[in-house]
Amino acid sequence: MKVLEFPLARITICFLLGILSAYFFVPNPNFIFGLLLLLLLLLCILFWGPKTNQKFKLYFSTVTYFTSFLIGMSSLIVQTDSFQKSNYTHLIDKFDKEISTTLVIREKLKNTKYNQRYIGIIQQIDQQNCNGRILLSIPKKHFKVFETGTILNIKGVIQRNKKPDNPNQFDYGAYLNQKQIYAQLYANSGNIKISPEPQKDIWYYISKINSKISHNLEQSHFDKTALAVASALILGQRQDISPEIIQDYQYAGAVHILSVSGLHVGFIFLFIKFLLSPIPNTRKGSLLKLSILLINLFLFALIAGLSPSIVRSVVMFSFVAIGLYFRRSVNIYHTLLVSILLILLFQAYFLFDVGFQLSYLAIFFIVWFQPILASYWKPKNKILKYCWDILTVSFAAQIGTLPLSLYYFHQFPGLFFITNLAVIPLLSIIMFLGVVVMSFAAIGFPPIWLSKPLEWSILFLNKIINLIASLEQFIIKDISFNFILLSCSYILIISTIIWLRKPQFNKLVLVLISIITMQSSLIFNRWNIQNQEEWIVFHSKRKTLIVQRFGNEVYLYTNDTASAKSKTLNSYLVGNFSHIQKQESLNHTAYFKGNKILILDSIGTFPKDIKPNIVLLTQTPKINLERMLLSLKPKLVIADGSNYQYILKLWKASCKKQKIPFHATAEKGFYKLD
């Protein structure tokens, strides 16, 4: 790969490795900063050395790469809020009890079934100054929506982010930690006081602009469904889109359209350039156009929420604009590398954002692989050429992002190419109309002759997406895919593209080795799964769910017939390359690897002569636990999610008195024997 010949590429790789090392190994900050300072001094000394000496060049390069590695580590350390002494995470005695918290609303999130959710910036806890981001949950039936900048004084309980309750479940706590949100604050409506004066910062005014746009469009009788999609496409606000529409876009392979990214920024870039075309291309005129273009791109990024994909796109198009101003051809690989360095230098945690990863992979494979695909057929007809270009771009992006998409989402939309052929021409109309309509809505009411075509276009787009998504036979779901397969897939894809670019025997050998590596990983994965055995009590509210797995065969024990189709169990099956072999009702006893397990239900009866190793309490059995423990003397007591919460503390105290370990899935998550 020629891109690796660029010194900047090697520097970027070292920088990325530094970020990853700091994330996974959590080094001592003082040691890293001290070592970085020494290397920077050494680099300055070497910079003035003899440039022609080959040995010296090697020393200089080595020190440069080590320095970039340490800069990557330092960037992540500096941007980790929990390392700051003023962060609320250091107030250990304030967690898991009712405290008084003063915070500022920063962002409104999508509501859950029962709660409004916000990201808040803490100012004080129990009159003690501190800072940090926190997730705020408030019962939604009691309060109107809080605006960004609202200052609240809340009496509530702060809880650290929990680990997943069940195996192979999405780790929402780790996701929040990457966003520098280390805890959640739960508050009842009667314990909230609203400050009369909001905090008027840049986020307050951006929120006001977004609210004004939405309000003015609603007042002009803009369809609510279309407005939710328009807000996502242009303003980056997805919280009002219904789950059904999001699912349609996912199944059609078009969910990326709802996240503002390079496609959207590209449309806006071209639109602003078109508006500025009357300005003469003199030295002053070109500088004026560049300034207006960069300011508008930056403002758009701010209004759209500065998400990782938006920042990436705006930075890249800014480099393109600067290159055009200086009348220099822009090397797209250099632009990609510089944008990665610049963005991650100031936002290192973007590296762990799925949207950031997918957007960079998509643009890299479009630049690298699409020209190869386009060269296989060069239609002379303009319409055919346009369709062929869309197909090749879509296919290149899909190939580049497919392994990562399977790793994160475990599904593949088979009709993605049809979706892109149908949607991209329509999306260009929606984006141009949308920018104009939103601009009018920001200052007043948009003209109906513009807003209605936008509304109809979006509703038509939704109908196309819904039609494609309804063909469920083309949607491949529940694809088991782990990190080993992810790595081997990219090795195979990259080696194949290298061979396609310039077919040679040694490159073909590399492809064959990659195929063998992929096959070996599949065989190893299957062997590894087949040699696993485990017995698991899941945490499931109001019902009992027990799984016994032998290799890829799962035996499900539950009295709830719908459990076999639950998301909890499905995530486990997909994550372990397994399927349900048999489903049975719960028995009162179970055996696994020499362990005798007694399962008590709501009736609470049990034979006196049984001597179990483990007692599983389900459906809040009517028993005297202390008497039962004295009689049975188990080595462990488990209480699953079907029990009432109030009794768990009593059971825990009884077990503690008898010196018997107690595992409540509501508190500790699932329990596993293997």
Secondary element (H or E) of residue 66: helix 54-78
CB 468 within 8 A of CB 477: no
Q: Does residue 160 form part of some domain?
A: yes
Residues 542 and 584 in one domain: yes
Residues 543 and 656 in one domain: yes
Residues 127 and 21 in one domain: no
pLDDT-derived band at 531 (thresholds 50, 70, 90) equals: very high
Residues 56 and 125 in one domain: no
Q: List the beta bridge partners of residue 671.
A: 537
The tokens describing 20, both together, are: 């990853």
d(CA 453, CA 446): 12
| Average pLDDT of the residues in 643-669 | 91
Which pTM value belongs to this model?
0.88
pLDDT-derived band at 625 (thresholds 50, 70, 90) equals: confident
Q: Does residue 211 form part of some domain?
A: no
pLDDT recorded at residue 242: 84
Q: What is the pLDDT of residues 361-390, one digit of tens each?
A: 988 898 889 889 988 888 888 888 888 888
3-state secondary structure of 103: strand
Radius of gyration of the chain (CA): 29
d(CA 576, CA 481): 9
Residues 521 and 539 in one domain: no
pLDDT recorded at residue 360: 86
| Pairing of the two strands 636-639 and 614-617 | parallel
3-state secondary structure of 26: coil
The tokens describing 454, both together, are: 């936008």
CATH code: domain of residue 541: 3.60.15.10
Largest CA distance in the chain: 97
CB 384 within 8 A of CB 114: no
3-state secondary structure of 358: helix
pLDDT recorded at residue 557: 92
Greater model confidence, 84 or 326: 84
Give the residue from 49, 78, 107 where a domain finishes: 78
pLDDT recorded at residue 578: 94
Amino acid at position 595, single letter? N
Residues 503 and 543 in one domain: no
As a whole number of Å, the end-to-end CA separation of the chain is 45
pLDDT recorded at residue 2: 60
pLDDT-derived band at 329 (thresholds 50, 70, 90) equals: low
Residues 96 and 54 in one domain: no
Residues 129 and 26 in one domain: no
Residues 520 and 542 in one domain: no
Q: Give the Å distances, CA to CA, from 570 to 206, 250, 253, 592.
A: 40, 18, 21, 23
- What interhelical angle do 354-374 and 332-346 show, nearest 10? 180
pLDDT-derived band at 433 (thresholds 50, 70, 90) equals: confident
- Vertex 542 angle, CA 536 and 544, to 5°: 25
Q: What is the pLDDT of residues 243-269, one digit of tens each?
A: 888 888 888 888 877 777 767 777 788
d(CA 125, CA 131): 9
Backbone angles phi, psi at 236, to 5 degrees: 70, 20
pLDDT recorded at residue 53: 66
The DSSP-derived string for 190-208 is: EEEEE-SS---SHHHHHHH
Q: What percent of the chain has pLDDT over 90?
A: 34
pLDDT recorded at residue 222: 84
| Average pLDDT of the residues in 508-534 | 94
| Average pLDDT of the residues in 45-52 | 70
Q: How many CA atoms lie within 13 A of 74 on its CB side?
A: 17
pLDDT recorded at residue 237: 77
Q: Does residue 256 form part of some domain?
A: no
pLDDT-derived band at 328 (thresholds 50, 70, 90) equals: low
Of the candidate ranges 42-51, 360-369, 654-663, the one whose mean pLDDT is the lowest: 42-51
Residues 72 and 112 in one domain: no
Is 80 exceeded by the pLDDT of residue 584? yes
For 145, which DSSP code? P
For 90, which DSSP code? G
- What is the pLDDT of the chain when averaged over all its residues? 87
Secondary element (H or E) of residue 94: none
Q: What is the pLDDT of residues 165-212, one digit of tens each?
A: 999 999 999 999 999 999 999 887 778 888 888 888 888 888 888 888
Of the candidate ranges 121-130, 352-361, 439-448, 580-589, the one whose mean pLDDT is the lowest: 439-448
3-state secondary structure of 412: strand
Residues 44 and 121 in one domain: no
| Average pLDDT of the residues in 117-139 | 91
CATH code: domain of residue 118: 2.40.50
| Average pLDDT of the residues in 40-55 | 75
| Average pLDDT of the residues in 555-564 | 83
Give the residue from 36, 52, 78 where a domain finishes: 78
Structural domain that includes position 133: 88-199
| Pairing of the two strands 128-129 and 475-476 | unpaired
Q: Does residue 370 form part of some domain?
A: no
Give the residue from 143, 169, 199 where a domain finishes: 199
The tokens describing 146, both together, are: 């809080």
pLDDT recorded at residue 119: 93
pLDDT-derived band at 472 (thresholds 50, 70, 90) equals: confident
d(CA 338, CA 641): 50
pLDDT recorded at residue 384: 87
3-state secondary structure of 655: helix
Is 90 exceeded by the pLDDT of residue 491? yes
d(CA 206, CA 218): 19
pLDDT recorded at residue 513: 96
pLDDT-derived band at 615 (thresholds 50, 70, 90) equals: very high
Is 60 exceeded by the pLDDT of residue 545? yes
3-state secondary structure of 374: helix
Amino acid at position 294, single letter? L
d(CA 229, CA 216): 16
Residues 41 and 105 in one domain: no
For 351, which DSSP code? G
Q: Does residue 394 form part of some domain?
A: no
d(CA 45, CA 495): 40
- Selection from 189-203, 320-334, 454-468 with the highest mean pLDDT: 454-468
3-state secondary structure of 231: helix
pLDDT-derived band at 142 (thresholds 50, 70, 90) equals: low
| Average pLDDT of the residues in 646-669 | 91
Q: Does residue 657 form part of some domain?
A: yes
Q: Does residue 218 form part of some domain?
A: no
Q: Does residue 36 form part of some domain?
A: yes
Q: What is the pLDDT of residues 51-75, one digit of tens each?
A: 666 777 778 888 889 999 999 999 9
Q: Give the Å distances, CA to CA, from 149 to 88, 119, 196.
A: 20, 11, 11
pLDDT recorded at residue 509: 94
The tokens describing 62, both together, are: 């080595």
Residue whose C-alpha is closest to residue 128's, from 106, 102, 152? 102
The DSSP-derived string for 233-278 is: III---TTS-HHHHHHHHHTT-GGGGS--HHHHHHHHHHHHHHTTT
- How many distinct structural domains can be found in the chain? 4
